Structure 1
């Protein structure tokens, strides 16, 4: 996963898009900083303190205090008095439900994902881009085998995950290079080079792989498709333990089935 920011206290928050794509005259820095606080929460975390926000956003403590107060007043954060920390509140939850309620493709995909997970004995997930990460919208685990699979809301590196690489593979050259430049500053040139090689796989196979790269014991494959309902790219992926599911199984067995499902959903 992307490393925490190490920027100094005077820097602006990490922007979820390439700097080249931003019109500074229209960009509201204060709003971006507030959203950075909400993005600081990771799957499984319920409480964060001001020190956590400062470390993860690179913002000054005084700025964090003001933003946290504002978000609490608006109902997006809740302050836990005994712990002295903040939790996400119902304002964030309502936004998430609004998104998912309109996600017709997700409803359409679930039964097909469930059938594929049962057939291949591996987890099947659906995700999309969220800033400079990929985020899981849904994960269906196999009922016939012990499988891996992150929960909805989990974030993945765009460079080391098969899902992120598949998303990068279908971007036009200019947009992809801008993302590589931004991601390289956060994660390093070596990860960018590995992602470029994965995109070459996509040109040949129609899908991208991550074999023991996102995690030492996880193999994964991903295939993108265009959601015609809202014009965005979504990505189907499948993952399993590398110790029991080798590369050939993902290339030869899962790959064709995953691509076929992506084509149907498109």
Structure 2
């Protein structure tokens, strides 16, 4: 079989860092990938983005951004606000999300158990999966007393700072994990903060063999502690991750290690065996 070659199309020097370094250019559709990167530029809390925002977040040339945004608007994935000169996500994106959630049988099975656990520990329980260099939330269920930040379906967190991302990194193959760490380090930059997050993530990954879970204590947010456990989706074999998060001011590390983690591990085992 011929070896794969890196994509080398016009303008590829400005391609987003989330693209694979080694792909078969005979099969890789650069224009499609660029269009999807434009949609990924929206982050939790964003409602409107302009062309300058797209250029800054994707690294794509302005002329390319203009054409992609127009195309996505025509197809119903973006909506243009003429008064503000900016774009919002439109119903086409929502329909794709519903398609994913509707096809996730495990999510349907998980919801009542997540709700029960959230009530029991007084925190937020989430289910997510990998999306590029982030983890994306498929569902979050909060207890009535949970005071955690409002992360909902579609929210994204870095693999380095989130317990969910660390748990995913802990269970994939070593070669894939090293490649991801290289991409994450590049995305985080060369500063001390990025290096410190990478070290903290590696420590949690090393402890996974002992703990069966990964923690994030004030790494993602100064008042949020969390724990996460990965499991294989029985339906399609992909890795999913359960996490539980709560305010660090009232739920300390000992609460997560001694009370929350055992319950989350038990739920992950149950969901991983469901058919």
Q: TM-score, normalised by structure 1?
A: 0.92
Alignment of 1:1-266 (within 5 A): 10-16=13-19, 18-20=20-22, 22-187=23-188, 188-266=194-272
CA distance in structure 1 between the aligned counterparts of 2:99 and 2:146, rounded to whole angstroms: 33
CA-CA distance at 1:46 after TM superposition: 1.5
SS of aligned partner of 2:227: strand
CA-CA distance at 1:49 after TM superposition: 0.7
CA distance in structure 2 between the aligned counterparts of 1:108 and 1:155, rounded to whole angstroms: 22
CA distance in structure 2 between the aligned counterparts of 1:35 and 1:14, rounded to whole angstroms: 13
CA contact (8 A) 1:117 1:123 kept: yes
CA distance in structure 1 between the aligned counterparts of 2:13 and 2:148, rounded to whole angstroms: 44
CA distance in structure 2 between the aligned counterparts of 1:13 and 1:73, rounded to whole angstroms: 23
Cα deviation, 1:234-256, whole Å, max 9, x if unaligned, reads: 00000111111110110010000
CA contact (8 A) 2:129 2:138 kept: yes
CA contact (8 A) 2:17 2:183 kept: no
CA-CA distance at 1:44 after TM superposition: 2.2
Cα deviation, 1:39-73, whole Å, max 9, x if unaligned, reads: 01112222111111111111111110011111111
Aligned CA distance change for structure 1 residues 194 and 25 (closer, same or farther; 3 Å): farther
Query: Runs in 1 of length 4+ with deviation above 6 angstroms?
Result: none
2:3 alignment counterpart: none
Q: TM-score, normalised by structure 2?
A: 0.90
Cα deviation, 1:71-105, whole Å, max 9, x if unaligned, reads: 11111111111111111111111111111111111
* CA-atom RMSD in angstroms: 1.6
CA-CA distance at 1:191 after TM superposition: 2.2
SS of aligned partner of 2:196: helix
Instruction: Identify the range of structure 1 (79-88 vs 140-149) with the bigger mean alpha-carbon deviation.
Output: 140-149
Aligned CA distance change for structure 1 residues 129 and 145 (closer, same or farther; 3 Å): closer
Question: Unpaired segments of 5 or more residues in structure 2?
Answer: 1-10, 189-193
CA distance in structure 2 between the aligned counterparts of 1:57 and 1:89, rounded to whole angstroms: 19
CA distance in structure 1 between the aligned counterparts of 2:146 and 2:255, rounded to whole angstroms: 15
CA contact (8 A) 2:148 2:224 kept: no
Aligned CA distance change for structure 1 residues 37 and 231 (closer, same or farther; 3 Å): same
CA contact (8 A) 1:148 1:239 kept: no
CA contact (8 A) 1:15 1:32 kept: no
